[in-house]
Amino acid sequence: MNSIIEGVLQKKAAAVAEAAKPDLLLLVHRIPYPPNKGDKIRSYHLLKHLAGKYRVHLATFVDDEADWQYVPNVEALCASSHFARLDPKKGKLRSAGALATGKSLSLAYYRDAGMQQWVTHTMREHGIARVMMFSSVMAQYAEQFPAARRVIDFCDVDSDKWRQYAEKKKWPMSWVYRHEAKSLLDYERRVAEICDASLFVSEPEAELFRGLAPENRAKIGFFNNGVDTEYFSPERSYDNPFAAGEQAMVFTGAMDYWPNIDAVKWFAAEVLPRVRAAVPQARFYIVGSRPAPEVQALAGDAIAVTGTVPDVRPYLAHCSVAVAPLRIARGIQNKVLEAMAMARPVVASPQASRGHRRRQRARTARRRRP
């Protein structure tokens, strides 16, 4: 009987504690679950952290039909939530219209009247005074609430990523990407102006934006990505997915993402032949969801394209080396952190390793301080 009473009291105390939490609106451009790719890892842990301190009201998009099954996982962390289906075809049509009028393609792609209505209703119904935005495109849903304390996690300087795209593409796409780089930077600066704080994934990324938006320098900061070292642990036992005698080189990532596509194509054409000339048993494994047709076309004797796998850890645990040959990259790369946590050697391009090197130098400098 006492245990039953104690259980009831504990539940009541938990409910009282939950009700006492302040309300917070969280806006995320992609459902923050499962945490199996860069932005989802960061947004999921952000949601999990905020849910411990606030009653979180989440508005987010679902751009992959397979992700609808994870809605209950996210709802369990939220006081209320709104999930909007993001149709790529309709989004591209909105972007085309924005291009014709000189506006940002990204903002138009993520524009949704139903989401704006839900946000406006939720803000008023709960008297919400705190808003957290994840990525620049979600700031458009909080512009009309100047009385709220607004913080944005830009993660990366997305406008600079579009600038890099423009340098790699031929006309007319180079012109389109330059247009987006300029229009999105203009919006990023405006968002930074109206927000109480603008955060990025690393100090170098924050410093880049300070140079692009010097008028907001004092409000720009960062918080690093991390990795779950208990989950990505080399001490666990994993089945070997490779054939006997193979020397596997592994790249992990979402394979419908253009910087990843560009990275594996470049590596397959420029690096892999040289490696195999010296090590004939070397094989390149491209491990990641939704491989684009041009990635699938790489598959052959020297290259394996796995598509979605239930767990990337066996591939990391048994590979000879993890590679991150990104030529377009911003901030901290989770794929590098995960491979390092698994105690695997990593060969990375300067672009992929830049944020990690500066992060390590900063830590070393702090340790050396008297």
Evaluate whether residue 239 is within a structural domain.
no
Q: 331 with 194, same domain?
A: no
- Residues 117, 17 within the same domain: yes
Confidence of residue 104 (pLDDT cuts 50, 70, 90): very high
pTM of the model: 0.85
Is residue 234 included in any domain, yes or no?
no
Is 23 strand, coil or helix?
A: strand
| pLDDT of the residue at 351 | 87
Of 117, 120, 147, 151, which Cα lies nearest the Cα of 134?
151
Range of the domain at 314: 247-368
At 10 the pLDDT is: 56
Name all contacts of 273-282 with Cβ < 8 Å and 24+ positions apart.
275/249, 276/302, 279/247, 281/245, 281/246, 281/247, 282/246, 282/247, 282/248, 282/249, 282/320
Q: How does pLDDT run across 17-51, given as a tens digit for each residue?
A: 666 899 999 999 999 999 988 899 999 999 999 99
Share of the chain above pLDDT 90, in %: 85
322 CB neighbour count, 10 Å cutoff: 25
Closest alpha carbon to 339 in 247, 242, 251? 251
State yes or no: cis peptide before 259, omega within 30 of 0.
no
- 360: which residues sit within 8 A by CB, 6+ positions away? none
Mean pLDDT of 327-332: 80
**Of 154, 187, 222, which residue sits at a domain end?**
222
* First-to-final CA distance of the chain: 58
**Local confidence band at 365 (pLDDT 50, 70, 90 cut-offs):** very low
Q: Where do runs of H (alpha helix) occur along 127-202?
A: 158-168, 173-194
* Average pLDDT score over residue span 347-360: 72
Is 264 a member of any domain?
A: yes
Decide if 96 is inside a domain. Answer: yes
Q: Is the peptide bond before 34 cis (omega within 30 degrees of 0)?
A: yes
Mean pLDDT, rounded, of the chain: 92
CATH value at residue 64 = 3.40.50.11720
Q: Is residue 266 part of a domain?
A: yes
pLDDT the model gives residue 360: 47
Per the domain annotation, does 230 fall within a domain?
no
Paired tokens of 63 = 């751009």
* Residue 227 · residue 338 · CB < 8 Å: yes
> 């052959």: which residue's tokens?
300
Q: What are the residues whose beta carbons fall under 8 Å from the beta carbon of 12, sequence distance 6 or more? A: none
At which of 205, 222, 239 does a domain end? 222
Q: What pairs with residue 55 in β-bridges?
A: 23
Instruction: Grade residue 369 by pLDDT with cuts at 50, 70 and 90.
Output: very low
Do residues 286 and 180 share a domain?
no
pLDDT at 11 (0 to 100): 57
227 part of a folded domain: no
H or E segment to which residue 56 belongs: strand 55-62
Q: Which of 204, 194, 199, 113 is nearest to 154 (CA)?
A: 199
pLDDT at 4 over 90: no
Partner residues linked to 26 by β-bridges: 58, 132
Residues facing 282 on adjacent strands: 247
Check whether residue 278 and residue 329 sit in a common domain: yes
Element (H, E) at 324: strand 321-324
Per the domain annotation, does 364 fall within a domain?
A: yes
Shared-domain flag, residues 78 and 193: yes
| pLDDT for 298 beyond 70 | yes
Q: What is the pLDDT of residues 216-233, one digit of tens each?
A: 999 999 999 888 899 999
pLDDT band at 2 (very low <50, low <70, confident <90, very high): low
Q: Is the pLDDT of residue 97 over 90?
A: yes
**Helix 38-51 × helix 334-341 angle, to 10°:** 80
pLDDT band at 366 (very low <50, low <70, confident <90, very high): very low
Residue 349: C-alpha distances to residues 46, 226, 252, 274, 354 (Å): 28, 20, 15, 16, 8
Whether pLDDT at 364 is above 50: no
Residue 257, domain CATH: 3.40.50.2000
- Give the pLDDT confidence of 39-92 residue by residue, as tens digits: 999 999 999 999 999 999 999 999 999 999 999 999 999 999 999 999 999 999
Say how many domains are in the chain. 2
Average pLDDT in the 278-282 region?
98
